[in-house]
Structure 1
Amino acid sequence: MPALDTYDYAVIRVVPRVERGEFINAGILLSRQQPAFLQARIHLDEARVLALDPSADIEMIRRHLDAIPAICAGAIGSGPIGQLPLRARFHWLTATRSSIIQTSPVHSGQCTQPDVAIEHLLTRMVLPPAN
């Protein structure tokens, strides 16, 4: 049996009206140090966001959410944050902020395959429950 590797993750949240503190889970950010891994999965439920704030700018929210996987990958156009070492990107993305896009506190887990773990977390924490 392969050894388990430790990872850190945070839930990505959309807080359409920061002053109210209500949020919708919209993604998962997962980081593992060795072997290096940093990825995000995004799923924006627009109807749920609009239920909290009918005037929410969905296009702007989507652009900000789409930047997160680009930063994780160090993609062209991800700016100086996308060029930082992976762990520094994770810490920057999970830093406490008072904005429309926030993250939960960082949690830890163990897995053998981080790509499977991130999909499991997305299903459990973000996607609508299966009927």
Structure 2
Amino acid sequence: MQDKVTFEYAIIRFMPKVEREEFFNIGVIVFSKRKRFLNLKYHVDPKKLAAFSCEITLEEVTKYLKAWEAICKGTPHGGAIGEFEVSDRFRWLAASKSTMILCSPTHAGLTDDPQQELEAIFEEYVL
């Protein structure tokens, strides 16, 4: 138990019409301050996407998610937000938004391997 550290995660959702509150899960973002870990994993099912919106393409959604990936990694493609501290980048990504890609409320837990948690949560809530 002493090797475990706290982590937080949020489920990434696709919600094409925020006012309708209909969504499906497309990814997971995991953050651990003590491990200086911030990463996400996503998969957008093309059939679900087409069922939810005929106006939004897989390429558009992927473009947004790649920007989120750049923010997680802190690369120049993440823009000014990519330069924030790791914790601030997570808070920005997980903040409440009125866009087609948004996050669930955050949840917390204990882990000794944040990457393993990311994989497990992704398997359970996205696939």
TM-score by length of 1: 0.91
Quick one: percent identity of the two aligned structures?
A: 35
Residue 29 (structure 2) pairs with residue 25 (structure 1)? no
Unaligned 5+ runs, structure 2: none
Structure 1 residue 69 displacement after superposition: 1.4
Q: Contact between 1:11 and 1:103, CA under 8 Å: does it hold in 2?
A: yes
User: Which deviations, in whole Å up to 9, do the C-alpha atoms of 1:106-126 show, x marking residues without a partner?
Assistant: 000111111111000000010
Structure 1 residue 3 displacement after superposition: 1.7
* Partner residue, 1:89: 89
CA distance in 2, matches of 1:110, 1:7: 6
CA distance in 1, matches of 2:35, 2:12: 23
* Partner residue, 1:44: 44
CA distance in 1, matches of 2:36, 2:8: 12
| Equivalent residue letter for 1:63 | K
Over 3 Å off, 4+ runs: none
Point out the structure with the larger helix share. Answer: 2
CA distance in 1, matches of 2:62, 2:122: 17
Aligned length: 127
Structure 1 residue 2 displacement after superposition: 5.7
Unaligned 5+ runs, structure 1: none
Q: Contact between 2:14 and 2:25, CA under 8 Å: does it hold in 1?
A: yes
| Equivalent residue letter for 1:87 | S
